[in-house]
Amino acid sequence: MSAPFSICGREISPGSREVIELPLPPLSTHSALHMPAHVIRGKKDGPCLLVCAALHGDEINGVEIIRRLVGLGALDKIRGTLIAIPIVNIYGFIHLSRYLPDRRDLNRSFPGSETGSLAGRLAHLFMNEVVEKATYGIDLHTAAIHRDNFPQIRATLDDAETRRIAEAFHAPLIIDAGLRPGTIREAAVKMNIPWLVYEAGEALRFDEISIRAGVRGIVNVMREVGMLRKSLRKKSYRPRIVKSNFWIRAPQSGILRLTAALGASVSKGDILGYVADPYGGREEQITSPDNGIIIGRTNLPLMHEGDAMLHLARFRDNASASETVDAFQSELDPVESTGISGSEPIA
Ligand SMILES: [Zn+2]
């Protein structure tokens, strides 16, 4: 006999799937607001995986990842429970904004408090009604507005279980990232919940490779923790762990032309782009300060001195990291791998 599983006061019986509506503070118009959560419970007991997206309301790749994930037929046979929440920051999502209406960042407001700000209350509700039920968590993000991230996992790798699922996700790159105060990851780690942040793509855009890699990654984790049957397919690359990473910043204000692509392997001294004044005058070359791979870049050509232009990652072995990036790109490229750029999910 399985132990009862309830969320928001609703009991979910084994072998059923439901959409639960978590009640939220209404809009200022008094329009009622809810946070829909898919809850899929297998017939057999197993772990509880929480997958959530759009904690930053403008980071929407994860919304599409979850839409495709919950449509997979394989979920009919899971062990344990999948909680999948496509839009956590509903308020920000409506306004195409990272933030909440009180201008706070929800992902700096955890664990929150019942009597705190709107952000604090939302964080508190999310911790108590959702995160608390999870044995594993995956939080889906993109780069901030006007920036793009090469698909990467961020996690605390000194925890063996976290490292196991970080590698199983099979994003090409993994960053052993310190815990930032107020994030949901920090709050979850304090509750001993192995937690991954998947960072891929740009805010307010869909990126097909990032979406495919996200759906596949979640399925891979479900296989690793015993929620789905393991796959016998041989992997074409090994995820690489970033040794160190830093932003290359604009040496002067002006107009930026980047020549380095996301995912490019670069050597020390390579030209990565140019910053010029907008009137045809002074132009400065941007050269790479080291060998590595471009894992993030700005898409905005307007710079102030000191603005972040390119995120460079260094590896113990740059050549094999570059091979991983190439293998990942050719495997996931929607045109190369299937001949169509549609939305067929990869499972
Ligand atoms: Zn984010």
| Residue 14, burial from CB neighbour count under 10 angstroms (0-12, 13-18, 19+) | middle
Q: How far is CA 164 from CA 3, 179, 197, 243, in A?
A: 27, 18, 14, 18
Tell me how far the alpha carbon of residue 239 lies from the centroid of ligand 1, in angstroms: 22
What do you get for the CA distance between the two ends of the chain, in Å?
Answer: 30
Q: What is the pLDDT of residue 281?
A: 83
Q: What is the pLDDT of residue 341?
A: 46
Tell me how far the alpha carbon of residue 54 lies from the centroid of ligand 1, in angstroms: 7
Q: What is the pLDDT of residue 342?
A: 47
Give this prediction's pTM. 0.95
User: Tokens in use for 316?
Assistant: 């113990």
Tell me how far the alpha carbon of residue 174 lies from the centroid of ligand 1, in angstroms: 16
Which residues, at least 6 apart from 292, have a Cβ–Cβ distance to it below 8 Å? Answer: 265, 266, 312, 313, 314, 315, 318
Which parts of the chain have pLDDT scores under 70?
1, 334, 336-347
Tell me how far the alpha carbon of residue 275 lies from the centroid of ligand 1, in angstroms: 27
For 83, other C-beta atoms within 10 Å of its C-beta total 24
CA–CA dist 345, 99 (Å, integer): 30
Q: What is the pLDDT of residue 340?
A: 47
CA–CA dist 94, 11 (Å, integer): 30
Question: Using one digit for the tens of pLDDT, what is the confidence trace for 77-128?
Answer: 999 999 999 999 999 999 999 999 999 999 999 999 999 999 999 999 999 9
Tell me how far the alpha carbon of residue 98 lies from the centroid of ligand 1, in angstroms: 8
Amino acid at 222: M
Contact 168, 226 (CB under 8 A): no
DSSP string of 221-263, one letter each residue? HHHHTTSSPPP-PPPS---EE-SEEEEEE-SSSEEEEE-PPTT
CA–CA dist 239, 277 (Å, integer): 40
Tell me how far the alpha carbon of residue 269 lies from the centroid of ligand 1, in angstroms: 31
Which residues, at least 6 apart from 280, have a Cβ–Cβ distance to it below 8 Å? Answer: none
User: Tokens in use for 281?
Assistant: 């005058």
Tell me how far the alpha carbon of residue 143 lies from the centroid of ligand 1, in angstroms: 6
Tell me how far the alpha carbon of residue 110 lies from the centroid of ligand 1, in angstroms: 14
Tell me how far the alpha carbon of residue 127 lies from the centroid of ligand 1, in angstroms: 18
Q: What is the pLDDT of residue 298?
A: 98
Tell me how far the alpha carbon of residue 55 lies from the centroid of ligand 1, in angstroms: 7
Q: What is the pLDDT of residue 339?
A: 47
CA–CA dist 211, 120 (Å, integer): 30
Tell me how far the alpha carbon of residue 230 lies from the centroid of ligand 1, in angstroms: 30
User: Tokens in use for 30?
Assistant: 């008094």
Instruction: Give the 3-state secondary structure of residue 135.
Output: coil
Tell me how far the alpha carbon of residue 235 lies from the centroid of ligand 1, in angstroms: 29
Tell me how far the alpha carbon of residue 33 lies from the centroid of ligand 1, in angstroms: 22
Question: Cα-flanking dihedrals φ and ψ of residue 230, to 5°?
Answer: -65, 150
DSSP code for 79: E
Tell me how far the alpha carbon of residue 145 lies from the centroid of ligand 1, in angstroms: 10
- Length in residues, the chain: 347
Question: Using one digit for the tens of pLDDT, what is the confidence trace for 139-186?
Answer: 999 999 999 999 999 999 999 999 999 999 999 999 999 999 999 999
For 113, other C-beta atoms within 10 Å of its C-beta total 12
Tell me how far the alpha carbon of residue 244 lies from the centroid of ligand 1, in angstroms: 20
